[in-house]
Amino acid sequence: MPTYTQIFNILIAPVLSVIAYWFYKKRLDVISASWLSKSFASGVLAIVPILVLNLIIKDLEISPIGDISNRFTYSILISFLKEWSKYLVVVWFALSSPTFDEPYKGVAYTLMAAMGFACTENIIDTFFYENIQLMPIALSSVLYALSAVMVGYGLGRSKDYGASVLSNISGLVLAITFHGACLFAIIGHLDKLLVTNLLAAILIVSLELVRATKIREKALAFEAYAKSV
């Protein structure tokens, strides 16, 4: 039976997902609950290949324990697999949809998928692993949220540039780099590096959200003008 602390750990990601849903629903008022629910569910499904790949990684004897080279390899590999998995499910179910037509919507879909992934991962960690602490789980949800904005913004911008390959994967590359750097800092207990990475990510995400909001406002203004003439 999980303790109260463990139950709280499990609730972190769902609470974040509810907040994300409310925020984007109120700000956009154009994304249906159905699409956001599908995004969340796709994130839940994205955990399946990660579980399989984790078994393969163990067989290859790649772990966070060891010298700096081993920790670096582990951090980059895990970050790549997790971000790539979430990226693929969003591309698979949402990118071709006509409703996915701007950065803000890309952020909304990808963020909900990331919260579905985080929720499932937190539940698995809480019930199947011992000595799970609150801080790593809380921090992982924050990392997923920040990286999701990077990926979603890049995917949304790809629609503006005619599905440009560069804009499509730029967010993914940025998210993998950020995730890997933070994971490396966490494993090595490098607090200064972790804080620096988080502050840099918050700055990048803030700028992306401001740009996405401006694009959304211009689109709304154009739609209002088109209806008036």
**Cα separation of 1 and 85, whole Å?**
31
Q: How many CB atoms lie within 10 A of CB 110?
A: 33
Separation of alpha carbons 31 and 97, rounded Å: 12
24: closest CA among 105, 115, 119? 105
Of the candidates 186, 161, 44, the residue with the CA atom closest to the CA atom of residue 106: 161
CB atoms under 10 Å from CB of 58, counted, come to 10
Confidence (pLDDT) at 173: 92
Residue 39: both structure tokens together: 């995004």
Q: Could you list the pLDDT tens digit for every one of the 229 residues in the chain?
A: 555 555 555 555 555 665 666 565 555 555 667 777 888 888 888 888 887 777 776 666 666 666 777 788 888 888 898 899 888 888 887 777 777 777 878 888 888 888 888 888 877 777 776 665 556 666 777 888 889 989 988 888 877 665 566 767 888 999 999 999 988 888 888 888 888 888 888 888 888 888 877 777 776 666 665 666 6
Of residues 90, 221, 97, 81, the one with CA closest to residue 153: 90
Residue among 198, 175, 185 nearest 83 (CA) = 175
> What SS3 state is found at 188?
coil
Contacts of 46 (CB under 8 A, 6+ apart): 85, 86, 88, 89, 113, 116, 117
For the record, the structure tokens of 163 come out as 């599905």
Structure-token pair, residue 122: 């937190």
Locus of tokens 């909900």: 112
Residue 176: predicted pLDDT: 93
pTM: 0.80
Distance CA 226, CA 88 (A): 35
